[in-house]
Structure 1
Amino acid sequence: MSGTTAWRRHRAGQRLLAERGAAIVEFALVLPVLLVLLLGIVEYSLAFNAQATLSAAAREGARTMALANNVGQARTAAQNAAAELGVPASAITVSPSSCTGASATTAVTVTIRHRQVFVSGFLGDTGIDLTGRAAMRCGG
């Protein structure tokens, strides 16, 4: 009887080793898919954050232009609001260049363009072009 019990334990141990080997193979097959999915989530969230930052910076630039009527101050305000992205002043467009003599319905528009490069490099040196745009009535 003890020989039969030992044989059953041996067979059970072999099944556990076989199942463990199958689990390792399954994990090796699923891991690349999970890593690509995780990488996609990270890249999307970084791009989404950059877009939200650009929109907020454009809104700040438009508010400054509508109240101060100064293109330089508007660009500086927008640039400071988007400091984490490193947006240069040349990427910020303010239109019209003056609110002086503007009617009550005239709006100032600030547009910021930025190229968001993928951090992972998984897709090469490519990136996506993002635009933040805001408009406010002159005079606040």
Structure 2
Amino acid sequence: MALLLPVLVLLLLGIMEFGRAYNAQVTLTNAAREGVRVMAITNVQADAVAAAKAAASTLKITDTNPTFTFTFTQGATSYTTCAAGRQVTMTMVYTLDSLTGIAGPFSMRGKGAMQCGG
């Protein structure tokens, strides 16, 4: 028992960390998709960030975590605004703290893309 229990506990903690990280990744991707949808329709970055934060309500959101990046492209050309025919991409970068403290914090990225104008 003394030899096997530490291995089983480490395995259990690893499964818990992986499950939590996977859940956070799915949440980030869905939040980025919701934020980019709002950005494509309204063209207001503050509303898109608010929608993404609301969609990621299960994560511990702070003022600086996650960070948001918007890019607007049409073909190979980059732009600074969302206009019809362009594609907007929203990237959320979130730092997930370790549940057990054994592993360091994890940097995770959620990304969503949609054509501007709906």
Greater relative contact order: 1 or 2 (C-alpha under 8 angstroms, separation 6 or more)? 2
Greater fraction of residues in strand: 2
Q: So what's the TM-score if we normalise by structure 1? A: 0.72
Instruction: Answer yes or no: is the 8 Å Cα contact 1:61–1:78 preserved in 2.
Output: yes
Identity %: 42
Read off the aligned partner of 1:132 and give its amino acid letter.
Answer: G
* Higher share in helix: 1
The structure that has the greater radius of gyration is: 1
Partner amino acid, structure 1, of 2:110: G
Residue segments in structure 1 that go unaligned for 5+ positions in a row? 1-26
CA distance in structure 1 between the aligned counterparts of 2:61 and 2:117, rounded to whole angstroms: 26
Question: Given the two structures, how large is their TM-score scaled by the length of structure 2?
Answer: 0.84
Whether contact under 8 Å (2:34, 2:51) holds in the other structure is yes
Aligned residue-pair number: 109
Q: Which residue of 2 aligns with 1:127?
A: 105
Aligned-pair RMSD on alpha carbons?
1.5
Gaps of 5+ in 2: 73-79
Match of 1:84 among 55, 58, 71: 58
1:66 maps onto 2:44 in alignment: no
1:95 aligned partner, one-letter code:
T
